[in-house]
Structure 1
Amino acid sequence: MRYLGRVLLLLGSLAAASGLIAQERQWYINGGVGYQFFDNDRDFDDTSAAVIGVEAKLTDNWGVELATIYSEPDNKNNNSSLDGQFVSGSLSLLRYFNVNTNFVPYLATGVGSAVIQYDNNPVDDEDEYTQYNLGGGFRYALSESLSLRTDARYLLDDDNDYTGGLVSIGLSYAFASDSRPAVAQVDTDGDGVIDRNDRCPETPAGRQVDEFGCEFVLKQAESIKLKINFAYDSDVVPAAYISELKKVADFMRKFGGVSAVVEGHADSTGSDAYNKKLSQRRADAVRNALIGNYGIAENRLSAVGYGEERSIADNKTDEGRLANRRVIAVMQSKAVE
């Protein structure tokens, strides 16, 4: 018992320090039933036990748990006066693995205090000792807040060198310490699939994905057409076409393999050389807007100006010239046969 206070103080300091780093944390209430083992020197039969604990997840990979075990072991020699009641309390440090899935294994180690009270024994009615534990288990999510939890610990009585163990199974209820959704609901990469179900955790936001968060394999190609008309002698994208840009950007984010050539055009007013440069500026303006305002990667878009050489309407009318002052692009996703 002489080292227990120091060890608990150290673990408490580590937990407090981690808590300062992790302002938002998740908590679990863990409850279960188990089977407790005693070594031959303890003179107890193995018995069933109840386990309950409170667990705080400090970071994605680390947590602490305050837990208690209760059992009523019988004396091996059928001496009812030496039957007992076992109670322990411990503080454990947990290391989680595979945290973004439904199945989260962990390792655990900790220290605490255990007490055995003997029934009707005036000579030796109580043992109290320091107990260390080492083991691990796993948590399997059944829903966003409820999970199955199994645990196995090796138990060591540091005062008398008694050993034992405990295996348990139970349920774990998760809740957050603030108004933020529980960790099980977090979608870190923004692809619409929560982290614990996401097998491809770095998918870009907005990309079309399957139920596992991985890039969707298309069975049928999809396409979208960009068309923007410009004012006379202008390379400024009209405000009326902002929604058109957003629609195209959403399409390109959804289908990450799509790239496009943005084509700029002009009417026949002015010289061929001037119209060539003007159409290039128009194509560049649309490309730059998709890159700068909507985050489309530069290597997915190129721009070329064709001047007046690809007219689609009569340049003798206002309506025809407006139709020719345009930027167009056709984007098509690839399908897998």
Structure 2
Amino acid sequence: MKIKTLSLLVAMAASATAHANTTEPTEGVYLGVFGDYYDADWQNHRDMAGLDVEDSTGWGAEIGYRFDKFWSGRIEYADMDFDLGGISNGSLDAERYGIDGLYHFDGGPFYGLVGLKKMNLDAISDNTFANLGAGVRHHFTEHLFLNAEAAVYQGLEAGFTDVGGKISINYSFGSAGKSEAVAPAPAPVVAQAPQDSDKDGVVDSEDKCANTPMTDAVDASGCTLYETKEDKVSLLVRFPHDDATFSQQYVDDINAVAKFLKEHKNADVLIEGHASAVGDADYNQQLSERRAKNVAEKLVDMGIDSMRITTVGYGEERLKNPANTLKAHAENRRVEAHVSSKEKVKVKR
């Protein structure tokens, strides 16, 4: 419950930043009133066994002082109304008062806070809490502003850990300070800078390529720089013994080659068929050619022009593994392809 409550309070603070304005007084007194929510979970309270003290809503007032751009302090008073559970239902009045120190990050709308609070529960007990939190400030005008903040409270006398939040409306009586009026110095005479019409860093008098796109890097003459980019894809398809039909498991790999060829119109592919050294060499030569052609036909079915495909069979001439084992023979029954493409592309600025 405490986590959900704290998350809600933080979200409220974050939403207030959408129109946050950092123009504000950097010193002076401010006064405010606030709505307060406090999520407690005090079960079997020490002074009344079986009594549970739950959450509270209330209101309060505060007075603060902004010392400078980064630091401020305040004193607060809150009138609280706790819900009760356990052996008793209903509500219980309470008061909270204490002090906070605030640090305004970079002098902007976000701030962190640390403080010390005294909590008096009517007819039950009291407890001292240390609190740590964060908030955001939104100015409607130079002097009128809203604070939204959340804090964690840690009991020092009883070990309760609570969360709370508040939204306050404040009015500042301070000011950002005034500076003495100083007569403006006469504008210095500046020599006319050389023109660079296309903003590429090369002046017009030396620019041989006018109106170069802003996204392009340029050379000393103001012309677009190019680099050669290489892209490549490889294919390996294995086959059963004495068979030129490949398994469906390789369709995605073949499709990757087809996709590469469609994206790189200047690239062609050489499909190399191979066989193991088992059996007749002439027969293995023909088998390797059929394997290469079957893969090529699959590429054509996937939309690749047959003029961009070359097949070759090497039979058992290029064994991947020369050993006379079942594993080696399985490695040698294969089709391989390696496709690469080199393109000139612009160098980005």
The TM-score normalised by the length of structure 1 is 0.35
Larger radius of gyration: 2
